[in-house]
Homo-oligomer: A and B are copies of this chain.
């Protein structure tokens, strides 16, 4: 686990080359006044438009990736005050059905929780500098940003 970059507040964001411990990410948003938690788990999908993915591999500019992950947490706190958000992204090779990203959000009420969770994953794909290499069964490869019109296939939820 790469130590998180953070200011005064304890960081709830991290980047790892190991399997993500989902329980641990979820525990970072535990709060006695929060009645709802939502944990999003993005995993490597085997079949996309009939093509079989063998492997996904992620790389990042780590300091900037962590900084933008923290920014998402701050944006969520402004939009849904008091809502907590923890994000862990995995780098390196991620096999079929393994998680590449886990986002945990908690809030007093579930409506905010659903909105904030969805916001977090969409923002992550927009602003966090993490690149993905897909390797398909036929030996072909594709590499690029996680969003944008140049992403022909999407092998993660």
Residue of B at shortest CB range from A110?
B157
User: Which of A63-71, A113-121, A128-136, A140-148 interfaces with chain B?
Assistant: A113-121
A45 at the interface (CB under 8 A from B): yes
Residue of B at shortest CB range from A21?
B23
The number of residues on chain A lying at the interface, defined by a beta carbon within 8 Å of a beta carbon of chain B, is 36
User: Which of A2-10, A29-37, A85-93 interfaces with chain B?
Assistant: A29-37
Q: How often does this chain occur in the complex, in copies?
A: 2
A40 at the interface (CB under 8 A from B): yes
The CA of A156 and the CA of B156, in the complex, are separated in Å by: 31
A109 CB to nearest B CB, Å: 6
Contacts of A44 in B (CB 8 A): 35
A13 at the interface (CB under 8 A from B): no
A108 and B33: CB pair below 8 A? Answer: no
As a 0/1 sequence over residues 67 to 109 of chain A, the CB contacts with chain B under 8 angstroms (1 = contact) are 0000000000000000000000000000011000000000111
B40 and A37: CB pair below 8 A? Answer: yes
Contacts of A118 in B (CB 8 A): 114
A35 and B42: CB pair below 8 A? Answer: yes
Closest 5 CB pairs of A and B: A36-B157, A35-B157, A35-B45, A32-B46, A37-B41
Contact A38-B35, Cβ < 8 Å, known A23-B23, A114-B118, A157-B108: no
